[in-house]
């Protein structure tokens, strides 16, 4: 399963109203570190299919949501549960750091 595309328009439906935790990768096409973590985000989407929803939000096209959550540098990955931000990763980090945060939310 591939990450879903999250936009200003579908954010509430896909993230806030989700019945499972959601990871949102705030990224942009021109961002080198964003491209570095892209394969990790795709792996997480497959690894946690059915348990965690994984999405990508292009900050250039969806500035309202980026501003709402104070995203100032990318990549920023926000971990939502029950529509609320539970954790954050900023920058390119190893996959294990993402896994640790997911396990913590699912616990």
CATH number, domain containing residue 90: 3.40.30.10
1 pLDDT higher than 90: no
**Model pTM score:** 0.96
34 is catalytic: yes
The number of folded domains in the chain is 1
User: Residue 101: which pLDDT band, with cuts at 50, 70 and 90?
Assistant: very high
Catalytic residue among 6, 23, 24, 34: 34
Measured between alpha carbons, how far apart are the two ends of the chain, in Å?
Answer: 23
Query: Are residues 49 and 4 in contact, defined by beta-carbon separation less than 8 angstroms?
Result: no
Token pair 């591939």: residue: 2
Domain that holds residue 23: 4-106
Reported as a single tens digit per residue, the pLDDT across 9-41 is 999 999 999 999 999 999 999 999 999 999 999
31 is catalytic: yes
Alpha-carbon span 19 to 53, nearest angstrom: 9
Catalytic residue among 15, 31, 71, 78: 31
């Amino acid at each position: 399963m591939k990450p879903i595309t999250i936009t200003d328009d579908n954010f509430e439906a896909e993230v806030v109203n989700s019945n499972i935790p959601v990871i949102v990768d705030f990224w942009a096409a021109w961002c080198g570190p964003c491209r570095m973590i892209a394969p990790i985000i795709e792996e997480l989407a497959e690894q946690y299919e059915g348990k965690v929803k994984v999405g990508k939000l292009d900050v250039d096209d969806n500035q309202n949501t980026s501003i709402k959550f104070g995203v100032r540098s990318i990549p920023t990955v926000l971990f939502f549960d029950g529509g609320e931000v539970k954790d954050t990763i900023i920058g390119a980090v190893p996959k294990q750091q993402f896994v640790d945060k997911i396990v913590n939310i699912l616990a």
